[in-house]
A and B are shown apart, each in its own frame.
Chain A
Amino acid sequence: MSLSVPHAVAVWRRNASMYRRIWMLNILPNFFEPVLYLLSIGIGVGAYISQMGGTSYAAFLAPGLVCVAAMNGASFEVTYNIFVRLNFEKQYDAMLTTPIQPDDVLFGEVLWAVTRSAIYGICFFIVITLFGLARLPAALLVLPVIPLTGLLFAAIGLAFSLRIQTIDLYSFYFTLFLTPLFLFSDVFFPLKERLAGGWLWVAEALPLLHPVRLARAGFAGRIDLNALWDVTYIVVVSLLLLVWARGAVRARLIS
């Protein structure tokens, strides 16, 4: 292992200093997206639903949307942004003329993606708290789920970015991967209640489902054995993908 944390932090700070200049432009659209869903589906559609899992529909929606915000924050970073830095701007080639090594680049980028997911997730958490949809302090249990969601989607997006040759393929990633996850991962309705018995495993395979279930359990203040399985899923999938990404990053940066 050739990781130097100070050098990885230097990579992280590069992104942070870029983000500081554009955060207003950047955060507003991504931040408003779940807010709009909350207003339209949660409060609009929710008016026709008397209750859901013992709460109002808007309150049912809120924890899942925190995860969606975190997923979006990490995903934008490890898709278009990384692809441009890697293939067009050649930023990593410049980093590798200094003592920075490929492992530092990978660690710094993942750390930054997790940071961005945390910025989005926490902002959204503040919004739902202001809407009165989070019961404090129990709902604070959702906070650790935000960086975990970021880690998982940083790892998935990074692996995708390292596989593809052309930037156009991200439309597939967003439309045919992230959007279905968003629609079917227990955010809007409990998927398992709509699946025939033989298909339950499909739900367990969906990556977003695990953070959403954790977040909902956190909101309700009910942590059980399921939570252990969800955390294990997130950590193991993330680590497997990152181990693969480590080799891929080296191969891309060192010839």
Chain B
Amino acid sequence: MIVEARSVVKRFGERLAVDGIDLDVAPGVCFGLLGPNGAGKTTTLRMVYGVSRPTAGSIRVFGIDIARDPRAVRARLGVTLQENVLIEALSPVENLRVFGRYHLLREPALSRRIDALVDFLELRSHAAVPVQRLSGGFKRRLAIAMSLMNEPELLVLDEPTTGLDPAVRLALWARVRDLRANGTTVLLTTHYMDEAQRLCDRVAIVANGRIIAEGAPAELISATLAPETVEIDCEPGEESALFDGTPPARHRLRSGRRLMLYVDDAARLVERLHQRDPTNRRALVVRPTNLEDVFLRLAGTSLEGA
């Protein structure tokens, strides 16, 4: 295992941030911690790279106890923090140079590595411009480049694409896939279900400092709900009339007026509902079930915390 956490608890005074988490991240896997803000994801990551100490439990990374030898562990991993930490007055290349020295890289290896990262994250166009003049997406790419300086075996990404536009997100996901294809293990946190679903081989769903479910995204969906979702507007009092005689759903969830039915095959249900609402006033939608639904089912609240 690349990361092995056992019964990890973290308490900040009265507040229990992490409440007994077990984590096994296998080599070469992209592992996602999915959960709303404040669920304990960042605290868990901070304990993995050793800047936060567990109140109880143990964490081994690359088989090394992080509490005993954080230097040895951190020499082999890279971390992209939630907030970019860049030196605004310096250019991307100069930022990479400063960061490379933190890993004790020396010339000519340092320049070679910077060059490779400038290419890999497409930083060439503004490689010599002070960071303060760059866009949010560019800064994020630079922050990720910095965390790759030491060719890490484990890349830790805390909310890698929060606040970025869709094109930048897609580009970053592609880079993370490239890294994984080259054997890098990835551990990321996100509160976007699409990010977890598209990027991660395994997902742990985190709520209130605990892992409430874990598995491959498709596995989690089929074990918790069903592969297809039918959404429709419907007051609680209208349910019996609307669904009388329709094939039963495996699960139903309600979020205000919106009702979600989880089924193995939506075709027959949709046909019936169409007959009862031919003008589609109820805004019927058929879509694949996603991890947001799984979260809603398991935690009882949405990922946005609403």
- Which A residues contact B (CB, under 8 angstroms)? 2, 4, 6-7, 10-11, 13-14, 17-18, 21-22, 89-91, 93-101, 253-255
CB distance from B192 to the nearest CB of A (A): 23
- Which B residues contact A (CB, under 8 angstroms)? 12, 46, 49, 51-53, 70-72, 74-75, 78-79, 81, 83, 85, 87, 89-90, 94, 97-99, 101-104, 146-147, 150
User: Within the assembled complex, what's the spacing in Å between the Cα atoms of A96 and B53?
Assistant: 14
* Inter-chain contact B52/A7, CB cutoff 8 Å: no
Which of these, B49, B79, B87, B98, contacts A13 with CB under 8 Å?
B98
Besides the known contacts A93-B81, A99-B71, 13 further A-B residue pairs in the complex with CB atoms under 8 A apart: A7-B102, A17-B94, A17-B98, A21-B89, A89-B87, A91-B85, A91-B87, A93-B85, A94-B146, A98-B74, A100-B102, A101-B70, A255-B53
The residue in B72, B89, B102 that gathers the most chain A C-beta atoms within 10 A of its C-beta is B102
Q: Return the chain B residue nearest A6 by Cβ.
A: B104
Contacts of B90 in A (CB 8 A): 17-18, 21
CB distance from B265 to the nearest CB of A (A): 48
* Inter-chain contact B52/A255, CB cutoff 8 Å: yes
Contacts of B75 in A (CB 8 A): 98-99
* Inter-chain contact A4/B81, CB cutoff 8 Å: no
Known: A18-B90, A254-B52. A97 touches B78 (CB 8 A): yes
Q: Return the chain A residue nearest B73 by Cβ.
A: A99
Which of these, B74, B83, B102, B150, contacts A10 with CB under 8 Å?
B102
Can you list 11 A-B pairs, Cβ within 8 angstroms, ordered by A? A7-B102, A14-B101, A22-B89, A90-B83, A91-B87, A94-B99, A97-B81, A99-B74, A99-B103, A254-B51, A255-B46
Contacts of A100 in B (CB 8 A): 102
Known: A97-B74, A254-B52. A18 touches B89 (CB 8 A): yes
Contacts of A94 in B (CB 8 A): 81, 85, 99, 146
Contacts of A10 in B (CB 8 A): 101-102, 104
Q: Return the chain B residue nearest A97 by Cβ.
A: B79
* Inter-chain contact B98/A97, CB cutoff 8 Å: no
